[in-house]
Amino acid sequence: MSAQIISGKEVAKSIREELKLEVETLKEQGITPGLSVILVGNDPASHSYVKGKAKGCEEVGIKSEVIYLEETISQETLLAEIERLNLDSNVHGILVQLPLPKHIEEDAIINAIDPKKDVDGFHPINVGKMMIGEDAYLPCTPHGIIELIKRTGTEIKGKHAVVIGRSNIVGKPVSILLLKEHATVTIAHSRTQNLKEITRQADILVVAIGKPQIITKDFVSPGTLVIDVGVNRLETGKLVGDVDFEGVSNVASYITPVPGGVGPMTITMLLKNTIEAAKK
């Protein structure tokens, strides 16, 4: 048996088509969704992400601006910039690209963003609302993962979902969203004992641990739907996930590739959140 590949590229493309129409409707009402991205310093990975975000905005018709700030900027100056954007009614979404330089407190920066413009879904108010099931901006990667699962036609309700990883960006929020869809959720992590026994019980396996190809086919029962969130670069320069794609493809029912799986969905969900913010 060979797994069906869940193409994040294809799913993202069809969602972006839908978003384009929503933006056109908003523009007819005189509203142009606007996203401001703040990039501090010269981290090459961050620059490449920000480029992808700007390109995505252009594609669906969102007005985007990138504010480049020096690595040496003070926390006060960065907070003042966020406050300026909070007060600008043409800006519907604000995103500060992480990681930030060491001398800046990430929490202080995230907390300074107006929750109504927090299209990354990282502000404690949005995280809290998501936790208790209220309407909130959902964090982009977890939201994208749920969309990918749903678009395979798989019903999440009643399934056993195992999430490996407990980060605030992916592991914890995706667990909450799977619970919201009525899955039974087990969270595993680097200190989990008998990991293999736990992952073999999964109907849906979400892997976000940041270790190249650590999940091999003996961790996966036949017919499992596998979502690989990891992006790791091998010494050869090849990009791979946290899952051994070749091996696991022989037992899983569905699997996301790396690259081209979860990645394209993250930016697409950011665009979706920005449009929602403009509607509100």
Counting beta carbons within 10 angstroms of the beta carbon of residue 89, is it exposed (0 to 12), middle (13 to 18) or buried (19 or more)? exposed
* Residue 25 CB partners (closer than 8 Å, separation 6+): none
Does residue 53 lie in a domain region? yes
Q: Using the 8-state DSSP alphabet, how is residue 115 labeled?
A: G
- Would the annotation count 200 as a binding residue? no
Does residue 6 lie in a domain region? no
Residue type (1 letter), 243: V
69 shares its domain with 165: no
Residue 274's CB is within 10 A of a number of other CB atoms, namely 31
Q: Could you confirm whether 120 is annotated as catalytic?
A: yes
- In this prediction, residue 1 carries a pLDDT of 63
Q: Using the 8-state DSSP alphabet, how is residue 215 labeled?
A: B
Task: Give the active site residue among 4, 13, 43, 53.
Answer: 53
Q: pTM of the prediction?
A: 0.94
- In this prediction, residue 141 carries a pLDDT of 97
* Residue 84 CB partners (closer than 8 Å, separation 6+): none
Task: Give the active site residue among 117, 118, 120, 213.
Answer: 120
Q: Give the tens place of pLDDT for each residue, 8-32.
A: 999 999 999 999 999 999 999 999 9
Does residue 129 lie in a domain region? no
**Strand, coil or helix: what is 225?**
strand
Return the axis-axis angle of helices 263-279 and 140-150, rounded to nearest 10°.
110
- Would the annotation count 171 as a binding residue? no
Does residue 8 lie in a domain region? no
| Average pLDDT, integer, range 72-84 | 97
Long-range pairs of 175-178 with CB within 8 A, sequence gap ≥ 24:
176/130, 176/131, 176/142, 177/130, 177/138, 177/142, 177/143, 177/145, 177/146, 178/146, 178/204, 178/206
| Average pLDDT, integer, range 62-72 | 97
Does residue 126 lie in a domain region? no
| Average pLDDT, integer, range 160-180 | 97
Tokens of 70: 């020096």
Q: Which CATH number belongs to the domain containing residue 95 in this structure?
A: 3.40.50.10860
- Would the annotation count 253 as a binding residue? no
| Average pLDDT, integer, range 103-114 | 97
Counting beta carbons within 10 angstroms of the beta carbon of residue 149, is it exposed (0 to 12), middle (13 to 18) or buried (19 or more)? buried
206 shares its domain with 248: yes
162 shares its domain with 66: no
**Mean pLDDT score across all residues of the chain:** 96
Q: Peptide bond preceding 99: is omega within 30 degrees of 0, i.e. cis?
A: yes
Domain that holds residue 60: 30-115
pLDDT tier for residue 45 given thresholds of 50, 70 and 90: confident
DSSP secondary structure of 176-187: HHHHHTT-EEEE
Strand partners, 164: 188, 207
Single residue among 115, 150, 183 that ends a domain in this structure: 115
38 shares its domain with 151: no
Does residue 127 lie in a domain region? no
| Average pLDDT, integer, range 193-205 | 98
78 shares its domain with 157: no
- Would the annotation count 167 as a binding residue? yes
Per-position b or e across 228-240, b if 16+ CB within 10 A of its CB? bbbbbeeeeeeeb
Does residue 2 lie in a domain region? no
Number of domains, the chain: 2
